[in-house]
C-alpha cells in the first residue's frame, strides 16, 4: 500500500513537471519541485507571484505563471493616470504577458508586499495584498503603491489563482515632488 502511494505521488510530480511543455516560449523554463510545493499553501503561492514579476530587466518565467494560474484566469487592472483619467485592462494570461513582458524585459521592476489579508471559506480564498513597487525606466524611477486582489480556488490537491485584480494608488501620492 505504501509503495502504491509513493508511486502515485511520484507520478503526480512527474506530470506537473512535464506540463511545462504546454506553452511555447523563446527560452524554455522548467517547473521545479520547489515550484510544485509553492501551490500547496496560499502564502507561498502569493509570494511566488511577487518573486516571478520582480527582478532585473529580462525575461520572466511565464511558464511558471501559467502553472500557478487556472488556464482561464483573468487579469484586471484599474489605474488612475496623472491627468485624472482612468485606464482599465482586462485579459487572459497571454494578454497580460503580451502587455507586461516588453516593460519587464527592458526595465528593472520590483514589487514588494507590505500587508496581506486572507479570507478562506472551504476551497476558495480571497487575498488582499498591499504592495509597493519601483520601476527603473529610462525616464527615471516610478514608485507606486497599490492593492492586489487574488481570488484562489483549491482543487486537485493544490491552490490555483483564478483571478487577479489590482489597482494602483494615484501616482502623485507616492512619487517624489516635481522640482
Residue 13 maps to which CATH number?
3.10.450.50
Return the SS3 of 127.
Answer: strand
Q: Rounded CA gap, 129 and 9, in Å?
A: 32
Total structural domains in the chain?
1
Name all contacts of 139-147 with Cβ < 8 Å and 24+ positions apart: 142/171, 142/175, 143/174, 143/175, 143/176, 144/168, 144/169, 144/171, 144/174, 144/175, 145/114, 145/169, 145/173, 145/174
Domain that holds residue 113: 2-174
Other residues' Cβ atoms within 10 Å of the Cβ of residue 143? 13
**Cβ distance 100 to 89 under 8 Å?**
no
Domain-located, residue 85:
yes
Q: Rounded CA gap, 84 and 95, in Å?
A: 25
**Cβ distance 27 to 101 under 8 Å?**
no
What is the per-residue pLDDT for 3? 52
Domain-located, residue 163:
yes
pTM for the model stands at 0.78
Domain-located, residue 37:
yes
Q: Rounded CA gap, 170 and 120, in Å?
A: 30
Q: List the grid coordinates of 32.
A: 521545479
What is the per-residue pLDDT for 85? 84
What is the per-residue pLDDT for 30? 83
Domain-located, residue 156:
yes
Residues of the chain where predicted confidence (pLDDT) is lower than 70 = 1-28, 171-179
Q: Rounded CA gap, 88 and 11, in Å?
A: 42
Domain-located, residue 179:
no
Amino acid at each position: 500500500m505504501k509503495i502504491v502511494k509513493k508511486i502515485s505521488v511520484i507520478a503526480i510530480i512527474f506530470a506537473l513537471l512535464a506540463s511545462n511543455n504546454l506553452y511555447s516560449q523563446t527560452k524554455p523554463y522548467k517547473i521545479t519541485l520547489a515550484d510544485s510545493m509553492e501551490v500547496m499553501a496560499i502564502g507561498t503561492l502569493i509570494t511566488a507571484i511577487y518573486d516571478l514579476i520582480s527582478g532585473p530587466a529580462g525575461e520572466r518565467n511565464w511558464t511558471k505563471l501559467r502553472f500557478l494560474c487556472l488556464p482561464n484566469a483573468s487579469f484586471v487592472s484599474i489605474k488612475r493616470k496623472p491627468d485624472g483619467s482612468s485606464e482599465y485592462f482586462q485579459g487572459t494570461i497571454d494578454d497580460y504577458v503580451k502587455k507586461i513582458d516588453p516593460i519587464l524585459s527592458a526595465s528593472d521592476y520590483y514589487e514588494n508586499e507590505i500587508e496581506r489579508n486572507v479570507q478562506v471559506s472551504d476551497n476558495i480564498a480571497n487575498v488582499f495584498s498591499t504592495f509597493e513597487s519601483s520601476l527603473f525606466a529610462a525616464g527615471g524611477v516610478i514608485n507606486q503603491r497599490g492593492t492586489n486582489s487574488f481570488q484562489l480556488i483549491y482543487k486537485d490537491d493544490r491552490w490555483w489563482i483564478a483571478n487577479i485584480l489590482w489597482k494602483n494608488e494615484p501616482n502623485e501620492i507616492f512619487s517624489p515632488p516635481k522640482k
